[in-house]
Every structure is written in structure tokens, then in C-alpha cells.
Amino acid sequence: MDNRVKKALVASLNKYAEVSAINVDGFETELVAAFELDANFLDKATAFDAVFDSHSKFEELREVFFDLLMVNFFSSDVQKLEDDYLESDEWANIEEETIDRGTELLNLLLYIKECKDEDIEPELGDFLKEFLLVEDDEFQDEFEIYEEMISNQQLAESSVEEICKTAPSLNISEEMQELFVPFMVFFLDVEGSATTTKEIIQFSSNKSFDSATYILITTINN
């Protein structure tokens, strides 16, 4: 299992449990075991879902953690496979099988990986224009999904309070509804300070999810 992914999973999960005032029980151990399975991606996904099915208190995290499962596959598992595996029919079938899984968080996590590879700091305008290509006519789906982020980029230079206060008044796409706050707060503070996390818990209307997702993102970035 990729070390950064493991740190992100553990930190995010524990923050969610802390803010929700619930017990992690054996969930963390079982989930890490699913990530570490020596199996193909679909078998891992089945094991992953079985863990969530057994721990319904954490259901809200299922799809963002599925994104993490994907990132772990790209960062760790794929190294053990043939060089052209991601071009193979097998991978195409896996993509088809999992097309409805995960969230837009995967895009952000892949963008962060690209930033690390290129040794640049993540930045909202760069993410939207250079990574998602929202200004390109061929990528109008992305434009629609991220429209409120595009229109409200100034929020990434405001404050956690302002982001949390403004979000409910925006016409955010279904895909970004839950992710708007943690995405914006990430671009406000890409390092992930304790103060920022506290402010999310103070001002967010979805404290557990937003703080856990923010910690997931910033741990991957650090």
C-alpha cells in the first residue's frame, strides 16, 4: 500500500470518527487490509465494499475512499503489473465496471500527484484550466461540473468561514455538492494547518465529512 495513501486514509478516518463522536472499532484495520490485498482491482473493490457494508457509520466516506483505492492502485499496485497495463482490455473493462464509482475527488488527487511530479504548488486556476481543461470546448462536461468553482475562484483567497457561508447559496453541480467546501478550502490552505481544520469544524454544515475530506486531500499533498 502506498505510504501516503495509508497516512491519508488513517488521518481522514480518525478525523471523521472524532468529529462524529463515533468509534473506529476494527474499521481502520479491515479497510487497510482491503487496500493491501494482493488481488486485482475488482477483487479489492469487492473487499473494500464488504468492509463498508459491515460498518455503516462510515458510509458517507465510501466513495471518497474509493477514490483513494484508485489512487493507491495507480501509485502502488500498477507498479507490479506490465508497463502497458493501463492500456489493456482488462483495465478498460475495470473502468467500465467502476464507471459509476468514486467522486470528483479523484481528479484533485491525480492533479496533486501531477504537481508533485512537476514540483509545483497546487493552485485553483491551474487545476481548472490546465488539468481539467475547462476552457476547452471538448471538455464542457467538466465545465458544467465545476462551473461554480470557476465562477467563484476568489473564494480560494477568502476564508474558511466565507467559503462555508457562501456554498449553500450557490447552484453547485450534483457531482460537486459535497466536495465544494473541502476543495475550496484546500486551495485556500494547501498545507492543511490545524487552524484551518478547526475552522471547517466550526463553520461547515457538514463538519465530519468536510474536515475528513480536507485532511485526506492535504495529507496526500504533504
Quote the DSSP letter at residue 177.
T
186 and 98 in a single domain? The answer is no
Contact criterion met (CB below 8 Å) for 111 and 122:
yes
Q: Of all residues in the chain, what percent carry a pLDDT higher than 70?
A: 95
133-162 pLDDT, tens digit per residue, is 867 766 678 889 999 999 999 999 999 999
Where a domain ends, among 46, 74, 102? 102
Residue pLDDT, tens place only, 8-23: 999 999 999 999 999 9
Cell numbers at 22, concatenated: 463515533
Largest CA distance in the chain: 48
Does 65 share its domain with 161?
A: no
Name residues whose C-beta falls within 8 Å of residue 139's C-beta, 6 or more positions apart in sequence.
132, 133
What would the mean pLDDT of 179-192 be, rounded to a whole number?
97
Residues 215 and 136 in one domain: yes
Domain total of the chain: 2
Are both 92 and 1 inside the same structural domain? Answer: yes
Domain final residue pick, 102, 137, 169: 102
70/131 same-domain check: no
pLDDT over threshold 70, residue 81 = no
Cell triple for 217: 486531500
Q: Are residues 206 and 137 in the same domain?
A: yes
- Whether residues 201 and 129 share a domain: the answer is yes
C-alpha distance from residue 20 to each of 68, 182, 209, 211, 216 (Å): 21, 17, 9, 11, 16
Which domain does 151 fall in, by range? 121-222
Q: Cα 207 vs. chain centroid, distance in angstroms? A: 16
Q: Quote the cell numbers at residue 210.
A: 468536510
Angle of helix 62-75 relative to helix 207-221, nearest 10 degrees, comes to 10
